[in-house]
């Protein structure tokens, strides 16, 4: 069974809260999971220690048996020092592009 470490959404509308879980890679995002190994609360300040919590012992175990990480979880693990590789993507915040396009210039 291919496993993946990813986030599962919890919380209410407009108050997101995520669990970092180990799950079957074929199962839907919020379905059953094998084990919960951490949490992520995006509503807390970025320097708050409780924003991202990870059980590093269990995370290292799952990585050692071949579990794959999602891009966002890879970023969290990299910041926590659990993996040494860089994530495959660079997170992009909202860009200040001209939304009007070519028509507004003409």
Nearest to 7 by CA among 76, 66, 103: 76
CATH says 3-86 is which class?
alpha beta
- What does pTM read for this prediction? 0.80
Residue pLDDT tens, the chain, 106 long: 799 999 999 999 999 999 999 999 999 888 899 999 999 999 999 899 999 999 999 999 999 999 999 999 999 999 999 998 877 777 776 666 655 555 555 5
Determine the Cα–Cα distance for residues 89 and 6; give it in Å rounded to an integer: 15
Contact (Cβ atoms closer than 8 angstroms) between residue 87 and residue 74:
yes
Residue 68, beta-bridge partner list: 4
Q: What is the residue extent of each domain of the chain? A: 3-86
In the three-class reduction of DSSP (H, G, I as helix; E, B as strand; rest coil), residue 72 is classed as helix
DSSP 38: E
The β-bridge partners of 15 are: 12
How far is Cα 77 from Cα 86, in angstroms, rounded to an integer? Answer: 10
């Amino acid at each position: 069974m291919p496993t993946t470490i990813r986030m599962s959404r919890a919380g209410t509308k407009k108050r997101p809260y995520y669990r970092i879980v180990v799950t079957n890679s074929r199962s839907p995002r919020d379905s059953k999971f094998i084990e919960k190994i951490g949490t992520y609360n995006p509503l807390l300040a970025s320097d708050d220690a409780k924003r991202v919590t990870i059980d590093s012992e269990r995370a290292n175990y799952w990585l050692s048996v071949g579990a794959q990480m999602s891009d966002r979880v890879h970023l969290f693990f990299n910041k926590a020092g659990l993996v040494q590789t860089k994530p495959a993507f660079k997170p992009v915040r909202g860009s200040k592009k001209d939304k009007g396009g070519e028509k507004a210039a003409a």
